[in-house]
Amino acid sequence: MTLLNDLPVQKKLHFAMLLTSSFALLVACSVFLAVEYFGYRRNLVQTVTTLARIMADNSTASLAFDDPAAARQTLKALEAEPQIVVAILYRNDGHILAHYATHPVENPGRPGAAGVRFENGQVVAVQPVIEDTQRLGTLYLVASQDAMLARVRSQFWVALAILILATTLAALLAAVLGRTLARPIMELDKTVDAVTARQDYSLRAHQYGDDEMGRLTAAFNGMLATMQQSVGALRESEQRFRVLADHAPVLIWLTDEHGRHLWHNQRWLDFTGRPQATEAGEGWANGLHPEDREWTLRLFHAASETRKEFQLEYRLRRHDGEYRWMMSRGLPRLGEGAAFTGFIGSSIDVTDFKLAERAVAEARDRAIAASRAKDNFLAALSHELRTPLTPVLLLASEEAHNPRLPPEVRHDFEMIAKNIALEARLIDDLLDLTRITRGKLVLEQRPADAHAILQDALNTVDPDFRERRINLQVTMAAPRHRVLGDPVRLQQVFWNVLKNAAKFTPMNGRVTVETHVADRNRLLVRVTDSGIGLTPAELERIFEAFAQGEHADTAAGHQFGGLGLGLAISERLVQLHGGVIRASSAGRGQGATFEIELPLDRSGGEPVALPAVQPAAASVPAGGKFS
């Protein structure tokens, strides 16, 4: 059967048909012969039996009256039956009354039991001779099978001839039919071979008919069409990838699952100035900086083990011999069934970026150092400037009220005291700002009544409003007004904002101060003036240090000097209290509004230390002192 497996289908069909038909013919012939043989045999037995009965019946009188001649006459009738070769009529005492034989034969002695039997290839019939009920003797008949066998034999030859003829015809038919039946299969086979050999998916198998083979062929052709499409799409996609990869502004490479480089895009080859062939495998590593080569390769191997995305920077020799810093990034490639097939990676030249980054870092370090030096200088300077002012201010204030001095002198001293106070406050502001910038400012945190603090600030600024005849309206409407913070610093904030309002509001102007509770737990203090207002550009920089509005020099506020530190300090202080300060204005000449939002105290009333702020050292003099 394994031999049969390797035969071509055509031969198989041929053999199958031939075997089937031959077997059927053989069985038919055998059955025919067997039926013939047994039919003849049955006929012979029947004939012999009938003859025996007739002969026996006709022999009764011969036996009864002991007439051998009559008996012989009776038996002589058997000449008409050539297959009967022997007939013997026995008397009851075993003696022979008469016999008949086509050729002399041996006397069997005794006839044996009644019935028909086969003996030595002959049919032997033993028939009792009975008249009425009397047994008169026995008839012994022998029939030859020769005639029957001769007929069967001749039929055997005829059957054999038919068998051979029919088998030959069947073989011819099977050959023709087998070729016809196998044709679609051969066609498919041929097409498969051609497609495999030439990788040409545009080939098609010719379809014969619309039977199962025809449908199979159609399905196969359909598969080929699909293959043609997908192969075309694949080629196109690959083409696109190559074009994309070769024209991408980065270097692109592919590795196998062991981290060995398989392919590089044109840009990589242009960058290194080496051909694809020498870059493959670990050849590309020859272009690495000697210091980077070993650990870079180790990292590639490690990445192939973990099969995870990785990133590294190494120095790669450019075609002009210069080593350039490359930032490389590898992404695992997953094939069918999410199997790891290697990495796809990109590399970019980050040398310029690294240099720029270094320059920026150096510049920043220098700037930080310079800033620190400036702060230190400012702190030292302020302190050195501020310290001598205190005794001068004390002395000038004292002399200004000295009744023993003439009024002109007292007036001069008053002027001196006023200007020194101004200068001291400016220096204090500078010191504050420096402290805040250096993180040296320490706030006290305790519950305080914001209304009381606001009132103190108003009291302090009140002379300015009076002097400029400004209409001040105060509405403290907030039902809850206890906040958590440093009362001295909060007063400084309010003072700064009020002072600012007074400063930029013209004579007979109007300033409104009101308080509310906003968002349930925030205290809102709003100060609105009818002053010169702010332009959008000014609004943007209003809380920056040293950023006075352009009007500062021209307006009446000039007398306050004006380094523009007050609002900057105020903003930092409010932020340190967890609050917000906002400025808004409809524009030049439209007045301005400042809003300060502070979180309301929701605790019991005991002083609570906020974690971010150290308990106040209370060594800093409040700004309000110097007004």
Partner 1 sequence: MTHRPTLAACRLLRFVGRVLVFAACVASVRAAPVTREYDLKAVFLYNFAMFVEWPKEARPPPGKPLVIGILGRDPFGRVLEDVVAGEVLGGNSLAVRRYTTPEAAAECHILYISESETPHLPQILAFLHGKPVLTVADMAHFAESGAIITFSTGTRVQLHINKAAAEAAGLNISSKLLRVAIMVEPSSPP
Binding residues (CB under 8 A) for partner 1: these are: 57-58, 60-62, 64-68, 70, 91, 93, 95-99, 101, 103-107, 120-122, 131-134, 144-146, 149
CA distances from 540 to 524, 531, 534, 537 (A): 21, 18, 10, 5
Amino acid (1-letter code) at residue 104: P
CB-nearer residue toward partner 1: 133 or 619 = 133
Nearer to partner 1, 106 or 408 (CB): 106
Choose between 69 and 612: whose C-beta lies nearer to partner 1.
Answer: 69
Smallest separation, CB 67 to partner 1 (Å): 4
331 sits in which H/E element: strand 323-334
Least gap, CB of 28 to partner 1 (angstroms): 25
Closest approach, Cβ 156 to partner 1, in A, equals 13
Alpha carbons within 13 A on the beta-carbon side of 381: 11
Nearest CB to partner 1, comparing residues 1 and 80: 80
Pairing of strands 471-476, 510-518: parallel
Task: Quote the least distance from Cβ 77 to partner 1, whole Å.
Answer: 12
Taking the complex as a whole, how short is the minimal distance between the CB of residue 107 and partner 1, in angstroms?
4
Token digits of residue 597: 């939002």
In the bound complex, what is the minimum distance in angstroms from residue 58's beta carbon to partner 1?
7
**Least distance (Å) between residue 61 CB and partner 1:** 4
Q: Closest Cα partner for 524 from 448, 605, 600?
A: 600
Q: Radius of gyration over alpha carbons of the chain, in Å?
A: 66
Cβ atoms 259, 345 nearer than 8 A: no
Alpha-carbon span 74 to 54, nearest angstrom: 10
How near is the Cβ of 91 to partner 1 at its closest, in Å? 6
| E strand or H helix at 580 | strand 580-585
CA 146, CA 83: separation in Å to the nearest integer? 8
Report how far residue 166's alpha carbon sits from residue 158's, in angstroms, rounded to the nearest whole number.
12
Helix (H, G, I), strand (E, B) or coil at 340: strand
Task: For partner 1, give the closer residue by CB, 117 or 469.
Answer: 117
395-400 LR contacts (CB < 8 Å, sep 24+): 396/420
DSSP string, 152-206: HHHHHHHHHHHHHHHHHHHHHHHHHHHHHHHHHHHHHHHHHHHHHHH--TT--PP
Instruction: Give the separation between CA 273 and CA 356, rounded to whole angstroms.
Output: 26
β partners of residue 328: 312, 347
Element (H, E) at 284: none
Residue closer to partner 1 by CB (options 65, 197) is 65
With respect to partner 1, which residue has the nearer C-beta, 59 or 255? 59
Tokens 């999410």 sit on residue = 338
* H-state helical runs in 59-122: 60-64, 68-76
Nearer to partner 1, 88 or 441 (CB): 88
- Min CB(153)–partner 1 separation in Å: 10
Q: CA-CA distance, 28 to 170, in Å (whole number)?
A: 15
Strand partners, 582: 595
The residue type found at 60 is T
Secondary structure (3-state) at 209: coil
**Residue closer to partner 1 (CB basis): 93 or 320:** 93
Report, in Å, the least distance between residue 93 CB and partner 1: 8
* Cβ-based nearer residue to partner 1, 65 or 157: 65
Report whether 515 contacts 478 (CB < 8 A). yes
CB of 68 to partner 1, least distance (A): 6
Q: Which is nearer to partner 1, 87 or 555 (CB)?
A: 87
